[in-house]
Structure 1
């Protein structure tokens, strides 16, 4: 077989076919995103797969499975295969790169999902009646009471007040908030709205629900900001935490659940920051770190630490540095260039707040160097926003902290020159900070002109973090002696539009 043949059926590929699969095979496997394909017996004879099986390391087998030429020219993403296995992408990364998994229940379940022939395995598959993936989170009627240790109860919710408020929330209010947040059309909230019925057990479908909601929150937040999203995220987090505290589930489901709830807590913390409710963010991040450690999920722990460094870099820069340092140590060996870019940026901002210019410049150079290395297939999902604009924007905020407004303004001009279509809020935020830098540099009229142009865009944003900066500019310009017509025009427009 040559590169001009379909690896699935052996048929010849057209010259303009860049997918690596013939049209019939593509049509036959359009549903591979939701379930593994049925592979031929020859699939398991591929040398990398044979070597992985011989190593008795199922993580290596899964990686060889993902990279098999049968799937076409593109490697199967970890997120897709993790979805099949009922775990998160971060957990799959640990399975592939960490020590061999020894838990028989996990080995058996994953081997069945991928369709690995039992004759090739180094362990025996248990009877299907007791290991079916459809029974995850539920004890079969014949299971004796002596196996109770395999099922455990979730730790209690960390935030009693939000949890109590959420459980009693009127469903019409809940869905009204969801509509405001732009999430009601996704269909994910239908199951969530029934959680107050207190189902006694949790399955993998509920874990996938929590994970999918985190993705929806990220997309909506990047587009419009967090004001309405913050309320709905807090309610979602409270519902799931309250339910998980009373439900029962298997150990495998428990680890995945803790990871998903930790990820949701970090996302809720970020939304609280963007909605101008910074005091509410810290408890969610503390909870996220605890849950991530319970699940032994270093990726979510690193995300929480990076978020905590962001929250504290201006007010407690020494703590922010400590958070970034711990995140570096925790991610040693698996951090991608994009993740290292983010952590170097967190350190750079903290050094700027400490007025350590040489250390700031050093960390900024490292961040830029890592960014230039490009994306990686194992980039964590939470680093999606780390791009050139983010590096330039945070560099500019650091220059403001170092009292270098002119340099900050120059860098911000570059940052907003190439906006990201999926991060409109960030674009508006950095434009607002350009107004601040311009004013602090002494050009009051130019600052007023920029602010006036910004008003329509800020009005469409649901980000109190954005509007509060522009409100501060309005109050500052109002104190300018002998205000110019440009300044008066901005103040009048601002007051009339009630931004």
Structure 2
């Protein structure tokens, strides 16, 4: 074991330190101890398990340490005498140790909060909290755990977004008794989620959701129980981030919105540990979709903007364009027409540049058709069905051929646009095409879109003679049958 620095006994006799402890001013405690020993912030971080960035904010007064478990951890790590505080500190002032392989084993002493599921984003984003978040998401996805109460929205979601961008990732390596992980195994683990992603686009989430959850459980077990160096550790975290985010997307498509958000937030934590900003941006893009789809469009704007800020320095115009389309949907749901149109125009300009050198491999589906589809949906949300009809037509014609679920979604939305524009013949034609796909694609979201279409059709004004009342009745009856299947 590598011995960490210690706080000598005379420090605890200092009046300033005692006053800071009495006032629970732990930022001042940290600052005074560093001056008196002296110690670096990195030393105090190693002793307490807090990240250096969190300590910096604590000492500056930008953060306050209020969680009891974390207070005990902080004081125990420093070796604070039990008679100086009104808290049950362990006998002997138990302190942390670091192995030659890195800081992962810090949690063997200070991991109680992580093991108890304390996943407050205000607390340091440690590797153990990443693992706890992945485990919790897997349990919730299997129906064996409770999701976050009512979902994470508003200020709570903003906190996650902020800390994803601000927290430092600790070195991710582990010296355990398990087998040493090779780059070849990482290739296979990544290949599995890549294949599931392609299957989902063609067949829907119903075909892959359980497989993805099982795969995420395997990746989580590999992270917990295996031996690996920092390079492989980062790669495993990246695979976990990608898998958790995609599993969240599959859960979302299946209509399990709270479980979906658990997966996505766990993916965000894993992305932070991987050090790959693109994976974090990907998780935020799905959180944005979750936001504007569940009645929280401002969350969509916040998440997408945060992702864009982090990837600005990369040569990844397609990635930024994708985030802009998510942002525009949030603006449109909020009725912010100018902002929505501006975001879509910028997305189109970026997409026209082609793919950059830093584009993530999982963004293969981003193309002109996606821009048209998001533009059309935003126009529909903004109350302009006539323009939406033209954009939906462009989207369907330029869509990736294998993406059958998205085709069904676009056709169902196009049918709504035609109905709102008063053309029932075209609405029914597009609606039947969408229903054809819903009979083969396992997607709760597509069925929800068809139910929305049925709701729009019933009171719609009539134009044309091809379907008339009978056409609408036939389609709505068919939608009811498909939705019930």
1:430, 1:437 → 2: CA distance?
Answer: 10
Task: Specify whether residues 481 and 268 from structure 1 end up closer, same or farther in structure 2 by C-alpha distance, changes over 3 A only.
Answer: same
1:269 matched to 2:248: yes
Q: TM-score, normalised by structure 1?
A: 0.59
Partner residue of 2:278? 299
**Long gaps (5+) in structure 1:** 1-144, 170-197
The 5-angstrom pairing of residues 278-289 of structure 1 reads 278-289=257-268
Contact 1:222/1:425, CA 8 A, preserved across alignment: yes
2:347, 2:140 → 1: CA distance?
Answer: 42
Q: CA RMSD in A?
A: 3.0
Partner residue of 2:418? 438
Q: Deviations over 1:134-190 (max 9, x none)?
A: xxxxxxxxxxx99643584663332546646999x9xxxxxxxxxxxxxxxxxxxxx
Q: How far 1:484 moved relative to its partner?
A: 1.0
Q: Deviations over 1:259-278 (max 9, x none)?
A: 11011111111112222222
Q: Deviations over 1:406-449 (max 9, x none)?
A: 22122111211233223222122101111111222233343223
Candidates 189, 198, 203, aligned match of 1:219: 198
1:321, 1:492 → 2: CA distance?
Answer: 37
Task: Specify whether residues 157 and 240 from structure 1 end up closer, same or farther in structure 2 by C-alpha distance, changes over 3 A only.
Answer: farther
Partner residue of 2:236? 257
**Long gaps (5+) in structure 2:** 1-96, 106-126, 145-175, 463-467
Contact 1:163/1:242, CA 8 A, preserved across alignment: no
Candidates 175, 178, 200, aligned match of 1:200: 178
Partner residue of 1:382? 362
Q: Deviations over 1:12-58 (max 9, x none)?
A: xxxxxxxxxxxxxxxxxxxxxxxxxxxxxxxxxxxxxxxxxxxxxxx
Partner residue of 1:158? 133
Candidates 470, 490, 498, aligned match of 2:475: 490
Q: TM-score, normalised by structure 2?
A: 0.61
Partner residue of 2:29? none
Pick which of 245-254 and 198-207 moved more. Answer: 198-207
Partner residue of 1:457? 437
Task: Specify whether residues 224 and 481 from structure 1 end up closer, same or farther in structure 2 by C-alpha distance, changes over 3 A only.
Answer: same
Contact 1:347/1:360, CA 8 A, preserved across alignment: yes
The 5-angstrom pairing of residues 41-80 of structure 1 reads none
1:149 matched to 2:127: no
Contact 1:309/1:346, CA 8 A, preserved across alignment: yes
Partner residue of 1:310? 289
Partner residue of 1:36? none
SS in 2 for 1:373: coil
